[in-house]
Structure 1
Amino acid sequence: MPSALFTPLKLGSVTIPNRLGMSALTRNRSSATVPNDLMKEYYNQRAAGGAGLIVTEGTLITRQGTEWPDAPGIWDKVQIDEWKKITDAVHAHGSKIYTQLWHLGRVSHPQAPEQIAAGVPVYAPSAISARGGKFRFIEGAPGYVTPTELPDPTTIIAQFKQAAVNAKEAGFDGVELHGANGYLVHQFLDSTANQRTDKWGGSVENRARFALETLKALIEVYGPDVSIKLSPAGGYNDMGMPLQETIDTYGYLLREANKLGLSYITLVRYSAWLDPEYDGKKRGTVHDVIETFHSYLADTPLFVNSGVTPEEAEELIGSGKAAGVFMGMNWLAHPDVGKRIQAGKALDNQPDFTTLYGGVEGNPGAGYTDYKAAV
């Protein structure tokens, strides 16, 4: 029986060679905020290893005080030029590549060097701090702080749009809006982080406005080659609403997003590993995200993310529940996930979590570009 996973799929204006995507993985290997040759090698390896669609690590749309001090950006010409080298390398293998556009919102820190350089406060939908956080490169390893309420959200939407313009110049096939994991878009959606009383908060429609208006701005640049990643069940970065409110919020958002002609929407399933515990209780909203929401996307390809096995990928795609899947941790430790699956070889490299975010002193490629492909 032919593999459903390894059939081409048209997404927006491009066709990906298979339905196996590499999801965004923060790896802290840029030169400050500028992509570099080591990153080029990393993405080149994974395109050669059979990724049909690569989504870059979260890419900052403007200077921000992230917990990840060597996360890349896409707001200036130097960054654009270095990303172009990476997109060219990926395209040489027949793969496609999106960049994930990222604004952290309240989980930046005002004492981080990039936030100081930006000269602006840490902005969020409301002046409500997230619990947690550990900025190890700042003295005392402080946690998250109370942010400044964003006076005019359209200023950030304009930054997302400019980042899309820059991404197009850099040769990306499309852009994925990071709407998951407790970052800015997610903060607007979640009533525990967004308690505004203007048109950007309160009702389901108002809390979804920021995500939808940002998607529309990105479409003005990229047409159908725009996507969004969402984690309705996730508690990461102190997110999570009661179940019915979650269903109402994401149901509305997905119904409206389904009308926009997006290339795909990624839904991240619940993961206990990424769900923090506060006061003895997990923060997320445990439910079956795919069963709950897949019917809202009749006109938009659905990609499933989080803990997907090759066997499950075949079932999800073959049954029509999903158009494709994203894997993350498997791509971390295996540069050749696609080729291994096609050849029936095991995904048996063990990831080294001590080198996940930066390698070892003097060797940033350790645990990054030195994982072995199957012979």
Structure 2
Amino acid sequence: MTTAALLRPLQLGPYTTRNRIFMSAMTRNRSVPTNVPNDLNVEYYRQRARSAGLIVSEGILVSQQGTEYPHAPGIWSQEQVNAWKKVTDAVHAEGGLIFAQLWHVGRVAHPEAPEQIASGEPVYAPSAIAARGGKFRHIPGKPDATYVTPTGIPNPKTLVDIFTKAAINAKEANFDGVEFHGAHGYVLTQFLESGANHRTDEWGGSVANRIRIVLEAIDEVSKIYGPERVGIKLSPAGGPNDVGMPLDEAIETYSTLITEIDKRGIAYITLMRYSEMMDNMYLIDGKPRGTPHDVISTYGPLVKNPKTAFIANVGYTPEEGAKLIEEGKASAISFGIPWIVHPDLAKMVEKGKPLEVFTKLDMRGLYGYFPPYPHREDQMKGENLAELKEELKKGYTDYPDSV
């Protein structure tokens, strides 16, 4: 099967992408010490900018208060902005495009995680409802600690303001645009989900109220970047982090949301299709949490605005993705793990080379080679830090080009 459709340029807002093989956001936890991008991050993005049509950064935390993983990068401080400039400069030097994925984890944070403690704030979510089934292996003494009950955020407009400030910082760091992380059960998903959002004010209850925060955030950030440089990623099938609504409710909620977003003419909407592997690995009481349905066929036709690209994501082969584009069912395909193993993925596809994703993937390197309790200060200084950075190259920047 031909993959020619993937290799055609795409008009994405004001940009023309070199192909339709996009790189999805992936948490990699290499911003040591703590949350500031470093030279290792610069090299990682530089390698992939040589062929990607668009890179979406790993999830970038919009506030210290909304943190889950150790050593995931943030964008709330000037130091972080300056560090991200080195990344975007490297991507642009290779002729690439990069959007910043704006991320707040909401109730998936833990009050005893080091960054959460440093923020001096509680764990916030739409409502005081814990996410079941979580594990925090990086917290000393709590290898199996489950998520705790969060505090319902008093005024969700505060969260909109945090995302807006993050977009201002992303623009200063020379990102070409921003993507809202509205998937995987993080804070925006928590507002959308009736099981996580029990508010009785204008931010909860009806579908119109539950989608309000997403629309307001898009509207405010569009004032910074223009809607043509704003994207969003959504996962209507739920699954991770204890989200997933009954099918009829999921379809009503996401259909209404996507229809409203479509009116705004943003750059793109990325939809994560249901994945038997991904959405069923999170069991609650022994049962899968996801809501199986055909995400692409159900919601794709709702993206009608000619200004807005529709991007399909999760588990596509190049051949399958090209067919979807050829049939007019997607504008581009966003790949994740294949970009880890093949820094030159788009060139691999162009040359018709077979992908070696699961034969070469270093599973231990997905989230970094961390010693126990990696937040300890004695592991973040001097020779220890240098040794750690060498370890963190494994499964990150040590995959060679294949063509």
Letter in 1 for 2:75: I
Letter in 1 for 2:24: S
Letter in 2 for 1:40: V
**Matched residue SS, 2:155:** coil
Matched, 1:171 2:174: yes
Aligned partner of 2:206 in structure 1 is: 203
Q: What are the within-5 Å matches in structure 2 for residues 306-345 of structure 1? A: 306-345=314-353
**Matched residue SS, 2:43:** helix
Deviation sequence 1:97-144 (CA, Å, 0-9, x none): 001000000000111111111111100000000012211121222121
Aligned partner of 1:285 in structure 2 is: 291
Letter in 2 for 1:146: T
Q: What are the within-5 Å matches in structure 2 for residues 295-306 of structure 1? A: 295-299=301-305, 300-306=308-314
Aligned partner of 1:212 in structure 2 is: 215
1:161 pairs, out of 157, 161, 164, with: 164
Separation in 2, partners of 1:207, 1:360: 38
Separation in 2, partners of 1:234, 1:148: 22
Deviation sequence 1:275-297 (CA, Å, 0-9, x none): 21112321010000010011110
Structure 1 pair 210/86, CA: closer, same or farther in 2 (3 Å)?
Answer: same
Separation in 1, partners of 2:131, 2:30: 26
Do the aligned partners of 2:133 and 2:284 also contact (CA within 8 Å) in 1?
A: no
Separation in 2, partners of 1:2, 1:255: 30
Letter in 2 for 1:115: Q
Matched, 1:366 2:374: no
Separation in 1, partners of 2:66, 2:186: 13
Matched, 1:241 2:245: yes
After the TM superposition, list the runs of 4 or more consecutive aligned residues in structure 1 that deviate by more than 4 angstroms: none
**Matched residue SS, 2:188:** helix
**Matched residue SS, 2:269:** strand
Number of residue pairs matched by the alignment: 374
Letter in 2 for 1:266: T
Aligned partner of 1:357 in structure 2 is: 367
Aligned partner of 2:374 in structure 1 is: none
Letter in 2 for 1:177: F
Deviation sequence 1:294-337 (CA, Å, 0-9, x none): 11101121000000110011111111110001000101111111
Q: CA deviation at 1:67?
A: 3.4
Whose helix proportion is higher, 1 or 2?
A: 2
Tell me whether 98-107 or 268-277 shows the greater mean CA deviation. 268-277
Structure 1 pair 96/81, CA: closer, same or farther in 2 (3 Å)?
Answer: same
Separation in 2, partners of 1:353, 1:295: 36
Q: CA deviation at 1:204?
A: 0.5
Deviation sequence 1:213-257 (CA, Å, 0-9, x none): 111111010102001000001210000000000000000000100
Aligned partner of 1:271 in structure 2 is: 275
Give the fraction of aligned pairs with identical amino acids, expressed as a percent: 56
Separation in 1, partners of 2:370, 2:355: 24
Q: What are the within-5 Å matches in structure 2 for residues 51-62 of structure 1? A: 51-62=52-63
Letter in 2 for 1:76: S
CA RMSD of aligned residues (A): 1.2
Q: CA deviation at 1:161?
A: 0.3
Separation in 2, partners of 1:110, 1:91: 38
Aligned partner of 1:150 in structure 2 is: 153
Letter in 1 for 2:111: P
Separation in 1, partners of 2:211, 2:259: 11
Using the size of structure 1 for normalisation, the TM-score is 0.97
**Matched residue SS, 1:330:** helix
Separation in 2, partners of 1:347, 1:372: 13
Separation in 2, partners of 1:152, 1:166: 22
Separation in 1, partners of 2:221, 2:46: 26
Using the size of structure 2 for normalisation, the TM-score is 0.91
Letter in 2 for 1:126: S
Structure 1 pair 2/183, CA: closer, same or farther in 2 (3 Å)?
Answer: closer
Letter in 1 for 2:188: V
Separation in 2, partners of 1:257, 1:271: 24
Q: CA deviation at 1:360?
A: 5.9
Structure 2: gaps spanning 5 or more residues:
372-386
Q: CA deviation at 1:65?
A: 5.8
Q: What are the within-5 Å matches in structure 2 for residues 76-91 of structure 1? A: 76-91=77-92
Structure 1: gaps spanning 5 or more residues:
none
Aligned partner of 2:375 in structure 1 is: none
Letter in 1 for 2:104: H
Separation in 2, partners of 1:351, 1:256: 39
Aligned partner of 1:93 in structure 2 is: 94
Structure 1 pair 267/106, CA: closer, same or farther in 2 (3 Å)?
Answer: same
**Matched residue SS, 1:42:** helix
Q: CA deviation at 1:8?
A: 1.2
